[in-house]
Structure 1
Amino acid sequence: MCGSTPGPPARSPAGRPPDRRGRARQVAGRRVRRIDRLWREWPPGYELPDAERAALKETLGAPGVLTEILGDYRQLFTPPADEATQSLQARASGALTVPSLYLHGADDNCMSVELSDGMDDLFTNGLERIVIPGAGHFLHLEQPKTVADHILGFLNS
């Protein structure tokens, strides 16, 4: 009701005010475990060095960061709800008119390599599609020399 005074603060079943910091720690702990799981599954066989893993967890543990990053993946398969984003997506969905290189790890357990099947028609000036054996989702980390060689070869062609 507008203008009414707020009621008493919410209480836990034991009669204590909720521990919001404790709840935040629980959520952060689940997020860190999710990061570990994703890094085990998406690039199978690749072990992120400890210092890099710690930095990644710190970055992704910040409020809203993991949600936003995973949101990019989720939106690939769910049309945007708002008209402005739908309009922007429609304008950006045309054919690409520049030569393009697409690299994908053969062992990517996040995005199936088959997702790029049939994309050639969207690239009016050519698409070089390369699937890298033994690489997962983070192929630039897993096989940096192979990725760099493909990029340099493409740029120099």
Structure 2
Amino acid sequence: MLEVGMFSLLNPKLTPSGMFETAINEVIRGLDVLAYHDGVIVFGITKAEHDDRLPKLLERFAQKNVSIRASKCTLSSLKLEFLDIIVDVKGSCPDPGFSRPSTELESPKDQRQLRSIMGYYSRFIPNFATRAQPLFAAEWKWTAKYEQILGELI
């Protein structure tokens, strides 16, 4: 029987952030968890898998004298908001509080701005490479046709 996925987000108190990633990667080595910037994500396809991994991480934190701030932790959640992305059992999607509808976006002024927009949204768009190909194929000259393609994508 497939159970729903579970997530926990813990924020250890290590600074500055450049040092955090190096230090925390050493602390979590061998554990099935992810670290990014100032967060550690414990995940599992099943609740049992998540519940097996979380105490192992907490034990490792205790062994290495890593403290966590309870107010910055989310434990055993079916949905996780992290890096302006919402992750749940269905997958991931842009955080509506961060992303804006395509109708509110300014048209990109150059390829760099287009790549920035597409870089964020590409992970959420099925068949992105094929559908966005016309936007990147031609030399830069933004037209109504490209505006329409961008609007349909995002």
Coarse TM-score class (shorter-chain normalised): under 0.3
Question: Between Structure 1 and Structure 2, which shows a larger proportion of strand residues?
Answer: 2
User: TM-score scaled by structure 1?
Assistant: 0.25
Work out which of the two has the higher radius of gyration on C-alpha atoms and give 1 or 2. 1
